[in-house]
Chains A and B, each alone.
Chain A
């Protein structure tokens, strides 16, 4: 080890490229951004000139802005629904593909495939399904005529458009979460099951007292992953609904399916108010840090218990 004390040149030379990129892309923008959120920064202003310090105005304004409040609520509901749907689907499929099914490996690959494709592209694909493919079923099958009615288009109403976002988000993500459950289930030592069988435990007993506790461990990871990723959703939102349809909230016309990430983006670029967008991004950041801290402390506590 002492070789390195004489070799701090190697130390800094090897770190230099990474430190440079880290400073340029993460550290400087992070602190500059924190500062900008307290100013009246806008599209024409540059660092250093024509910036005025406005204190917490951007934050208080944001918390009074109907579009931000609505978006926050909408994102919360979306996240809760998404976490539930993803985990239910993922656990069900994981249990199926860890049983003795003949083609279990094919199923694993198959359910994983949507995760490989970017949310942006999947959003356009599902937009076609909701706007064209499903109505066309109504046109050709008399019993399902209601599907063809333009008033029933999934993406034209907020509750169903929210459902559509959940369907696409879960469809994309469930296969990935399934794989984490599969790894957890397969990590259970087979001896445990053998011992249980010798003790006379039936398959339900084995499931309840061996498989469930093992899944519970993976659950901390999957909960956190699905929560944070649903909360950050942007791509599917952008391509599937683009925030529409419009609605009224607290006497203001706003986007009806605008998730937080999109609200931040739109505030800055469509509304041309970069400082307000940055302030909302800071709020967004704080929420994610809180998620992460809760996850870390929870994991620590669990490890201590074991």
Chain B
């Protein structure tokens, strides 16, 4: 009895979606234009799609953008940060759950309290503190992978510990007792029994933190700086778009190329990603 309105709604939502995603179409068609037609006919289809590959190659090889090295830096920083921001908080959450002392409770509460701390309040002192450490110990934390990954561990661990803690609480303790009776050491219990059970949490945290780290701009801007040896993709795009203000053909190509990895990843694992992100919101 309500067939007609449903078709109408279908058409309406479809039209809305096309408009909603049209900015991505604009990026695509203008990445396949030269610098003249990109500003003259931004809404027109490109004359020659081959230009897309010319532009992409320019972006990939140009020494002023250093896109390829930024891409690998982004991959490396994201991957390494995800390893540490899942592994270390998982083992920390486990001992915090299984140790029923006041110390353990206080430490957990501190981690949770830190969830509200906005990056802005620690960013300036963080930079000067990292510099002070270098002056005292010679350990370089600014402009290095190590400092960047340490910073992501520091800012990501609160959410990680919180989520692992919630999950581990519901793992029956009998599982561990059985292993202990079988002669397993404490660390052995964690690595062999608990850690594999945490796979769904690893996935959720990996997605939440992965999206954040890959897209993050302000933290790398402060720790790595603009235009230095190591830069992430958002830094590279900002650096390039800032310096070559009028070269929209190449800026849009660099935007397109920065989006591709995320979109590919999304289409492979869309269900998981959406589930993970919604789960993260209800923390």
9 CB contacts below 8 A, A to B, read A1-B99, A15-B107, A21-B157, A25-B126, A46-B128, A102-B10, A120-B234, A133-B42, A238-B238
Known: A22-B154, A116-B262, A285-B118. 10 other contacts (CB 8 A): A11-B99, A21-B150, A25-B154, A46-B132, A47-B129, A117-B215, A124-B251, A136-B41, A137-B43, A288-B118
A38 contacts the other chain (CB 8 A): no
Closest to B266 in A: A116
Is B122 a contact partner of A33 (Cβ separation < 8 A)? yes
Establish whether residues B277 and A119, one from each chain, have CB atoms under 8 Å apart when the complex forms.
no
The distance in angstroms between the C-alpha atoms of A28 and B270, with both chains bound, is 38
Q: Which residues does B use to contact A, with CB under 8 Å?
A: 6, 9-10, 12-14, 16-17, 20-21, 23-24, 26-27, 30, 38-43, 84, 88-89, 91-92, 94-96, 98-100, 104, 107, 110-111, 114, 116-118, 120-126, 128-129, 131-132, 135, 150-151, 153-155, 157-158, 161, 173, 180, 186-187, 190, 211, 214-218, 234, 237-238, 241, 248, 251-252, 255, 258-259, 262-263, 266, 270, 274, 277-278, 281-282
Chain A positions 99-135 with a Cβ under 8 Å from a chain B Cβ: 99-103, 106-121, 124-126, 128-129, 132-133
Q: Are B13 and A14 in contact (CB under 8 A)?
A: no
Q: Is A232 an interface residue (CB 8 A)?
A: yes
Report B-chain residues with C-beta under 8 Å of the C-beta of A180.
278, 281-282
Asked if A120 and B121 make an inter-chain contact with CB atoms under 8 angstroms apart, the answer reads no
Interface stretch (choices A79-87, A189-197, A245-253, A275-283): A275-283
Q: Which residues of A contact B259 (CB under 8 A)?
A: 117, 121
C-alpha spacing A299/B278, complex, angstroms: 18
5 A-B pairs with the lowest CB-CB distances in the bound complex, closest first: A25-B154, A118-B215, A33-B125, A29-B125, A29-B122
Residue numbers in A under 8 Å from B13 (CB-CB):
93, 96-97, 101, 107
CA distance A101 to B15 in the complex (A): 14
Cross-interface CB contact of A22 among B27, B111, B234, cutoff 8 Å: B111
A101, B117: Cβ atoms closer than 8 Å: no
**Which of A29, A128, A234 touches B129 (beta carbons < 8 Å)?**
A29
> In the assembly, what is the distance between CA of A115 and CA of B20, in Å?
12
- Assess whether A30 is in contact with B154, with CB atoms less than 8 Å apart: no
Per DSSP, are chain B's interface residues mostly helix, strand or loop, or mixed? Answer: helix
Is B180 a contact of A3 with CB atoms below 8 Å? Answer: yes
Known: A97-B13, A117-B259, A120-B238. Is A4-B95 also a contact (CB below 8 A)? Answer: yes
Q: What chain A residues lie within 8 Å of B6 (beta carbons)?
A: 99-101
Instruction: Tally the A-B contacts, defined by beta carbons under 8 Å.
Output: 241
Q: Are B237 and A36 in contact (CB under 8 A)?
A: no
Q: Mark A225-257, 1 if CB is under 8 A from B, else 0.
A: 100000010110011000000000000000000
Known: A109-B270, A118-B234, A285-B121. A171 touches B20 (CB 8 A): yes
The proximity string for A residues 1-38 relative to B, scoring 1 for CB distances below 8 Å and 0 otherwise, is 10110010011011101110110111011101100100
Q: Report whether A238 and B217 are in contact in the complex, using a CB–CB cutoff of 8 Å.
A: yes
Whether A284 lies near B120 (C-beta < 8 A) is: yes
Interface centre among A24, A25, A29, A238 (most CB of B within 10 A): A25
Q: State in angstroms the CA–CA spacing of A100 and B13 once bound together.
A: 12
Among B91, B125, B237, B282, the residue within 8 A (CB) of A124 is B237
A96, A112, A281: the one within 8 Å of B9 (CB) = A96
